[in-house]
A and B are shown apart, each in its own frame.
Chain A
C-alpha cells in the first residue's frame, strides 16, 4: 500500500514539479525559495495521501503551494525584486542570445503582471501562464467558474493597458 502511494507521489512529482516550480518562481522570484516552497507542497501532499484518497493531485498541489506562498508573504513580507532576467541562466534552459532576448521581453511582461492587483496577477499566472482550466481554478480558488472567467478577462485587459 505504501509503495503504491510512493509511486503515486513520484508520478505526481514527474508530472507537476516543473510547472509548480515555475509558478512559485514567478511568484517569489527566488530560485531557492521557490524550490523550498514546492518541496513543502509535495511533502504536505504526501502527508495527505496517507490519510485520504486524493483525486486531483494537480489542483491540490496548487492549493497547498498557493497557501505556502501567502504564508511566506505574511511572515517575511513581500520582497519581490523583479530581477527575473538575472536568474534566467540558473533556472531555465535555452539561454542562447536569441532566446535570452525573448526571455527579457517576457520578463518585462511578468513585471507588469506583478504590478496588477493580487487577484488579477494571480489569475493571469494561473490561467494564462500555467494553463490551468477554469474548472481547476474553481477548485483551487474556491470560486465559481463564471466569476473567474470575468476576472481573467478584466485582468488581461488591465495588463494590456499597462503594456501599451
Chain B
C-alpha cells in the first residue's frame, strides 16, 4: 500500500504543466528581450517607507487624520476620517480597495439601521464614489507580488454585490434619487469590468 501511495505521489510530481502556463509565468520574470525584469522597490515592506516620499507623506496625513478622529464628535465623520487615514498609510491598490469596501460596508450598515437620514445618504454616496475610485486603480491582470487576477476579480465582485444589496434596500427609500443614480452608474461600470474577465483572464 505504501508503495502504491508513493507511486501516486511520484506521478503527481511528474505531471506536465501546460506550456502556455510556463510562457505566461515567464512574461512575469523576463521582458520581451529576455532580460530579467527589475523587481519593484516596494515589493519588500521594509524598503517601502524609506524610499517612497509618498509613503512618508502618507504617514503624516494618516497621523493627522487619526488625531482629527479624536477631535470629531460625529461618528460618520470619524469613520470617514479614519478611512482616509488608513488610505493615506497604504499605497497598494488592492489593500486600498479592501479598506474602501470595508468602509462602504460599515456606512451601509449604519444607514440601514433605522431609516436613512440625508446625512447618511450623502456619506453613503461618498463611500460608493471612494470605493469606485480605489477599484479603478486595480489592474485587471493583477500586479506581481501584490495581488492576482483572481483577487482583483474578487474585489470587483464584492463591490458589485455590495451595490446590488444597497440598491435592493433603497427600494423602500424615496428621497435618494442622486444615490440611486450613483449606484446605477457604478453598477454598470463594475459589471463591465467583471465581464472582461472571461475573455481576458480565462476566469
Contact = CB atoms under 8 A, between A and B. Distances in A.
A43 B22 contact: no
Interface string A77-114: 00000000000001111100000001101100110010
B130 to A, nearest CB: 23
A13 B29 contact: yes
Nearest to A9: B36
Contacts of B15: 22, 92-94, 103, 106
A107 B75 CA distance: 51
B202 A90 contact: yes
Contacts of B13: 19, 22, 128-131
Contacts of B29: 13, 39, 42-43, 46
B50 interface: no
B145 A40 contact: yes
Nearest to B33: A6
Contacts of A9: 36
Nearest to B203: A32
Contact of A6 (B2, B25, B34, B202): B34
B37 interface: yes
Interface in B16-38: 16-18, 21-22, 24-26, 28-30, 34-37
Interface string B90-123: 0000000000000000000000000000000000
A94 B16 contact: yes
Contacts of B202: 90
Contacts of A124: 9
B18 A90 contact: yes
B26 A17 contact: yes
A32 B151 CA distance: 9
B146 to A, nearest CB: 8
B150 to A, nearest CB: 5
B25 A109 contact: no
B1 A105 contact: no
B8 interface: yes
B6 A43 contact: no
B53 interface: no
Contacts of A35: 21, 24-25, 28, 148
A128 B12 CA distance: 9
B2 A160 contact: yes
Given A26-B12, A35-B25, A91-B21, A160 B39 contact: no
A92 B144 contact: no
Closest 8 A-B residue pairs measured CB to CB? Answer: A39-B28, A128-B9, A32-B148, A129-B13, A93-B16, A43-B39, A46-B36, A35-B25
Given A17-B22, A19-B13, 8 more contacts: A22-B17, A35-B148, A43-B29, A43-B145, A106-B12, A109-B12, A129-B10, A156-B5
9 contacts: A21-B17, A31-B21, A32-B142, A32-B150, A33-B148, A39-B25, A90-B21, A128-B6, A160-B2
Interface of B: 1-2, 5-6, 8-13, 15-18, 21-22, 24-26, 28-30, 34-37, 39, 43, 142, 144-145, 148-151, 202
Interface of A: 6, 9-10, 13, 17-19, 21-22, 26, 30-33, 35-36, 38-40, 42-44, 46-47, 90-94, 102-103, 105-106, 109-110, 113, 124, 128-131, 156-157, 159-160, 163-164
